[in-house]
Every structure is written in C-alpha cells, then in structure tokens.
Structure 1
C-alpha cells in the first residue's frame, strides 16, 4: 500500500503558496480578485495533481496481461 506522504507534503506546499498569495498581494481595487484567482488556480492545480497521482497509485481496474502468443518474445 502506498504512503500518503507525497500528497500531504504537496498539500502543505500549496497551503504555503496560498498564504504567500494572501499576504503579499499588492493593495489596490482588484486585490480580492487577484487573491481569489491565485488561490483558486493553486487549488485546482493541486486537485488535478492529486487525482492523477491517486489514480496511478490505486487504479480502479487491475492491469491485465495479454495472452501468451507462443514462445516468441520480443
């Protein structure tokens, strides 16, 4: 069984980047829009990575071997 450590480490990294986006966004009329856009983009990238990672670690269907086609091997 695979360890959840990579998903937790990457989640911590994404949270740190989201905190930086929150704290270091320049003041201005569009500050809230910029913060929201950055944080949403980071979260979407994390979710896409996590779904891809988990699909490879725990596939829904087991890999199947092709039937042996004689003694020929390539």
Structure 2
C-alpha cells in the first residue's frame, strides 16, 4: 500500500471537491456551502494523510523496554 494510497485518496478527494462545485447550485447561499464542503474535505484529507504517513514512516523508532541484560 504505502504512499500510492495517499495519492489515490487525494485524487478521490479532488474529485469530490470538484463535484461540490456543481452540487450546491440551488441552495440559498451556494458559495458558503461550496466553501465549507471543499475546506472540510481538504482538511480531513490532510489530517488523514499526515497521520497515515507518520505511522508508515515514523521519525523516532519505538524501542522495547522489556529487554533485560543477562548477568
């Protein structure tokens, strides 16, 4: 899976955001609805992507504490 998953989910998010441009034409205030939808999807994607990549390639490698030195 790896980094390609982040790319494909990003393409899906861009598609949803592009679809939001045409979805809110008949509402009372379409600019507000479009802006909120696009910002929500973009923020959720960025949070998910950063969290996924941080777990995929951690900066600090976890170390085990239960290893004991034999005397």
Q: Which runs of 5+ in 2 are unaligned?
A: none
Q: Shift in Å at residue 58 of structure 1?
A: 1.1
So what's the TM-score if we normalise by structure 1? 0.81
Aligned to 2:4: 5
Point out the structure with the larger helix share: 2
2: distance between equivalents of 1:28 and 1:50? 31
RMSD of the TM alignment (CA)? 2.0
Highest RCO, 1 vs 2 (Cα 8 Å, sep ≥ 6): 2
For structure 1, list consecutive stretches of 5 or more residues without a partner in the other structure. Answer: none
Deviation at 1:3, TM superposition (A): 3.4
Aligned length: 70
Indicate yes or no: 2:37 matched with 1:38: yes
Aligned to 2:65: 66
Q: Is the aligned partner of 1:50 residue 2:55?
A: no
Q: Hey, which bits of structure 1, 4+ residues long, moved more than 6 A? A: none
